[in-house]
Amino acid sequence: MMNVVTPADTILPAGSVLYVEEPEVAERNDAAGKLAALDCVRELVTWEYQVPGAAERFHDEHPDEPVVAVIPAMEYAVPFAARLAELYGVPGATLTAAETLRDKGRLRAVTAAAGIANPASASVASPDDVRAFAERHPGRIIIKPSNRQATIGTWIIDGPGAIDEAWTAAIAQDESMHVPDRGLPLRMLAEQFVTGPEYSVEMLVHEGRSRFANVTDKVLFDGPRPIERGHVVPADIPDPLHEALVAATARVAGAVGFRSGFLHCEWIVAADGTPYLVECAGRLPGDMIVLLMEYAWPINITSRYFDVMQGVDPGPAQAAAAAACAVWFLAVDAGVVECVDGLDDAADVPDVVRVECLVAPGDEVHELRSSWDRAAYAMSWAPTPEEAREAAELAIAKIHVKVRELP
C-alpha cells in the first residue's frame, strides 16, 4: 500500500486522499497509524471492496466526493478502482480490462486470441487434473493461482512424481496480512514452463497510448518457487529485444482494452527470441521497482502517473534512462530470528543507496513461499546496469540473519 501513497505525499495537496482498505487488512497492517503520518491523507475508509457490487455501494454512500482520480494501491484493488473510476467519470483502466488482468486464465485466453505468445495453460482443480495436463504437455510445468499476487501458490514441477507434493504446497496460500478473513476462491492453473530470461515492462498508458516504458531485468531464487531475487533497471539488453518487449506489452494493453493507468507486464524470452507472456497487472509494480525507475530515469514517474489518472496527457517520456538501479533480496531459513548483522557494512558498499531489514529479533520467519518471505533488501544506483547489480549483490551478501530452528 505504502509504495503508492508515500510518494503521493510529496505530490498531492494536504488532505486530498481518501484511502480505502478492507477492515481486517487495515487493522492487521496498522493502516491508520501509517497513514496518519502522511499530510496528503484526509481519511481512512474501511470498506469490503473485494466483493461484487462494492464500488456501486461505495459510490452510493459517497456520491458528492469531488473525485479527480482513483488509483489502485495494490493488486486486489484493481477492479474496484477501475469500476469506481467509471462511476465517478474519471480516467481508469476500464472494468473489463481490470477484471481480465486480475484473472490469469482469462488473460491467457484474451491475449492468445490477439496473437500474443502464451504457454499452453488449463484450469485445474486437483492433482489428477495436473497429471492429465502433464501428459498432454511433456516437460516441465508450473502450477499457479489465477487470482493471487507475489508468487503465492506458484510451483515449478519437474516430473509426474512431484505433482502431489507440489499441489499440497501450492494450495497453502497464506496471505493473511493482505487479504480479509473471508479469503479468496481457490482457482488454479497448470501451464507449460517456458525456459529463458525473465523481464518486466512497466508502461504508463494515457487513453490507450503509451507515455512511458521501462524494461526491468529479473533474477529468480533457485528452487521450485519462481520468487524474484533481484531486479535491474533498465535491463541491459539489445535494442531489438527491448523494442519487442515494449511492443508486446502495448499489444496486451490493446487486447484487454486498457485505457489509462500503469501496466506491469512480465515476460519470459524463449530460446528462439519469442517473448511469452507470464502475467500482467494493471497497477504500479511492487518490489521497489517504482523507486528503481525514479532513480534511473530523470523524470518523476509517480507524478506522471497521477497526471494520467486525472486526465492530463504528460506527453511521451525521453527514450532512455540516465543511470541504472538494482535491488537484491535476502532469503533465510525457517525459524525464529535471533539477531541481524551487517546492515552498516551493506550500507557502506559504494553505490548502495538504501538497505533495509524486513525482520527483527523474535520474528518467526519461513522458507521462501512467496515474495512476502524475503528478509532484507539492498538497493544501488550506478552508471551502468552491471555496476548496479554488482553493488546490490555485494551489499546483500553482507547482511546476516541468524535464525533459531523452531522446536
3-class state of residue 337 by DSSP: strand
List pLDDT tens digits, range 161-204.
999 999 998 888 676 677 777 777 788 999 999 999 999 999 99
Q: Are residues 341 and 401 in the same domain?
A: yes
State the pLDDT at residue 5.
77
Q: Are residues 129 and 81 in the same domain?
A: no
In 324-375, the DSSP E strands lie at 324-330, 335-341, 352-357, 364-365
- 9 and 63 together in one domain: yes
**Residue 32, CA distances (Å) to 21, 23, 27, 290 in order:** 10, 11, 8, 23
Look at residue 330 and tell me if it is in a domain.
yes
Q: What integer pLDDT is reported at residue 2 of this predicted model?
A: 60
Residue 214 lies in a domain: no
Question: What is the residue type of 170?
Answer: A
Q: How far apart are CA 348 and CA 83, in angstroms?
A: 46
Q: What is the pLDDT of residue 127?
A: 96
* Grid cell of 260 as nine digits: 489509462
pLDDT in tens, 352-365: 999 999 999 999 99
Cα separation, 100 vs 255, in Å, equals 10
Determine the pLDDT at residue 319.
72
Residue-level pLDDT at 369:
87
Specify the pLDDT at position 406.
82
**Which grid cell sits at 178?**
493482505
Domain end marker among 171, 192, 213: 192
Question: Which residue carries 504437455 as its cell?
Answer: 137
- The pLDDT score that the predictor gives to residue 182 is 77
150: domain CATH number is: 3.30.1490.20
- Considering the domain boundaries, does residue 109 fall inside one? no
Are both 75 and 16 inside the same structural domain? yes
Amino acid (1-letter code) at residue 189: L
Residues 79 and 19 in one domain: yes
Using the 3D structure, point to which of 167, 192, 217 is the last residue of a domain.
Answer: 192
Residue 105 pLDDT: 95
Note whether 18 and 93 are same-domain residues: yes
Counting other chains too, the contacts that 35-38 makes at CB distance below 8 Å and 24 or more residues apart are 35/5, 38/5, 38/6, 38/8, 38/9
CATH number of the structural domain spanning residue 398:
3.90.1170.50
- Compute the half-sphere exposure of residue 317: CA atoms within 13 Å on the CB side of its CA: 27
Strand-pair category, 17-21 with 41-46: parallel
pLDDT at 285: 94
Who's near 231: CB < 8 A, 6+ residues apart?
200, 216, 217, 218, 219, 287, 288, 289, 292, 326, 327
Domain limits for position 87: 2-98
Number of compact structural domains in the chain: 3
Is residue 262 in a domain? no
- Whether residue 30 is contained in a domain is answered as yes
- What confidence score (pLDDT) does residue 254 get? 98
Q: What is the pLDDT of residue 106?
A: 96
Residues of the chain with pLDDT under 70: 1-3, 150, 173, 175-176
- pTM of the shown model: 0.94
What confidence score (pLDDT) does residue 184 get?
73
Domain CATH code at residue 88: 3.40.50
Task: Select from 192, 217, 235 the last residue of a domain.
Answer: 192
The pLDDT value recorded for residue 265 is: 98
